[in-house]
Structure 1
């Protein structure tokens, strides 16, 4: 198996888990915040999509799906256009509301762009420096693994939140 095929499998698992987390979720469950202050399913799925979108676009030299495919307008969130959710206040988390179909449609579009990009990579591409703000500088390979880890954590949180009873928070 080639390195990019392994990464494609990992990104595919994120997509499968996103779809499962959104399946059958009603509007109330989407925006319910565990313990009253945890992140909602809607926010978690939106945020992981935004993170993957922004970081893949930057590494690949592409436009973000969020803006290039006009999801920013379709979501109509009261947030800055390039917002990805980092540092959100409780009010910002509450502001992220969207139906499950739109959340999945956005993530699917992000996933397609990710697959197209990662599918073109050869092993030597993973050593390319994509972020010099860190010491040591971040390579493409490390960035891709970081995106996968972050997205899997957030989709796991969404799946957990889905399984909570409304009385649990």
Structure 2
């Protein structure tokens, strides 16, 4: 993820306040960090510096962080469910989800295995979406399956984006 700031010396042609026609009625439009202020009386445009920062991140660049956060939340949820109700299935699901997401995270760190990590993250999120969707449909209880389904769908969207971007 890269954040770039426009070069201030290249953007500030002259200060609008020092321009003799600066008192004229103006309107502004912002394009790529430049603020173009056309002066209505003359039709000339003045470029002024803008404090806008650009984020050039793609959704796919968030895949390693998504796998780490998603795995941590799955593990925490499984441990919480186990301590509250003694659910061995939740504990097994949380631990296996954390292991799969940790493996996907480490595979995404190496360029040669990034596609495998994306595919593992995608497949795991797809399986968890299916599990939580089936549980939600079977129990008709929004908690805990509903938020977990939403979280899994969000992770699935990131992993699909990462896999498609890296495959092309």
User: What is the TM-score normalised by the length of structure 2?
Assistant: 0.37
Q: Comparing both structures, which one devotes a greater share of its residues to strand?
A: 2
Using the size of structure 1 for normalisation, the TM-score is: 0.37
